[in-house]
Amino acid sequence: MRWLSAVLCLAAKDVRHELRTREALASMAVFSLLTIVLFHFGFSDLGQEATVFAPGALWVTFTFASMIGLARSFSVEEINGCLRGLLLCPHDRSVIFAGKMLGSIASVGAVSTVALVLFVVLFNLPIFSMLWLVWIVMLLGVVGVTAVGTVFSAMTIGTRMRQTLLPVLVLPIILPLVVFGMQTTAKIINSATTGSAPVAEIAGGIVGMLLFDVILTTAGIMTFEHVVVE
């Protein structure tokens, strides 16, 4: 109980901070919009069918946008020695990990949701009936990406290259999750457009992503204490 309230307290602090400054939210949202514009000129303007490139474009947008949010997750704690203050709290290190992860899930999840809706509208994707399912798959992606990203965000503030390094570190690790997410999203979009839903395959994809999330989050909790030792 005490663990959970501390985690929620830390996550609420991050959400409050984000709502007041809106720095990460704004840059993530604008970045997503710019990516959508680029995908328009790169694919749909060149005659590609939106339903074909949408899964890939969606996940690329969300993955890269989340890097912006994750990079800020720990760099804001560097100011005025906030990280030291956090570490001095009489709590387990896993509290910091879970709280930070939850805060990132909130901001990255919010932006991804907006990006998803804009995607559907701007590319006229006929998937309104299945939108909730795409959203769930996307949130499962957000969980895995933030689990890995939280550990590496704490790590990169201690390197010379700082946050520049974050995507380089995170992307190879989350690749299986993103690939799985793209495949599942493609199946959902395909079933929404053709009308025949391969329920077992989609369910399998979602279970697989859940499994990835559990593994990545466990790895994150287990290794995080080694990252913030000072």
Contact status: 60 vs another protein (CB under 8 A) = no
Contact status: 177 vs another protein (CB under 8 A) = yes
Contact pick of 22, 126, 158, 194 for another protein (by CB under 8 A): 158
Q: How many residues sit in the footprint of another protein (CB under 8 A)? A: 30
Contact pick of 33, 60, 118, 165 for another protein (by CB under 8 A): 165
Contact pick of 82, 168, 199, 210 for another protein (by CB under 8 A): 168
Contact pick of 1, 20, 124, 160 for another protein (by CB under 8 A): 160
Contact status: 152 vs another protein (CB under 8 A) = yes
B/e letters for 49-62, b = 16+ CB within 10 Å, e = fewer, are ebbebbbebbbbbb
Least CB distance from residue 172 to another protein, whole Å? 4
Least CB distance from residue 151 to another protein, whole Å? 7
Our CA dihedral for 23, 26, 32, 36, rounded to 10 degrees, sits at -150
Least CB distance from residue 216 to another protein, whole Å? 8
Question: Which pair of structure tokens corresponds to residue 10?
Answer: 């830390």
Contact status: 81 vs another protein (CB under 8 A) = no
Axis crossing angle, helix 93-122 with helix 131-156, rounded to the nearest 10: 140
Least CB distance from residue 167 to another protein, whole Å? 10
Q: Do residues 220 and 205 make contact, with C-beta atoms less than 8 angstroms apart?
A: no
DSSP letter string, 7-48: HHHHHHHHHHHHHHH-HHHHHHHHHHHHHHHHHHHHTGGGT-
Cβ-in-10-Å burial (0-12, 13-18, 19+) of 101 comes to buried
Q: Which residues bind another protein (CB under 8 A)?
A: 148, 151-152, 155, 158-161, 165, 168-169, 172-177, 179-180, 183, 208, 212, 215-216, 219-220, 223, 226-227, 229
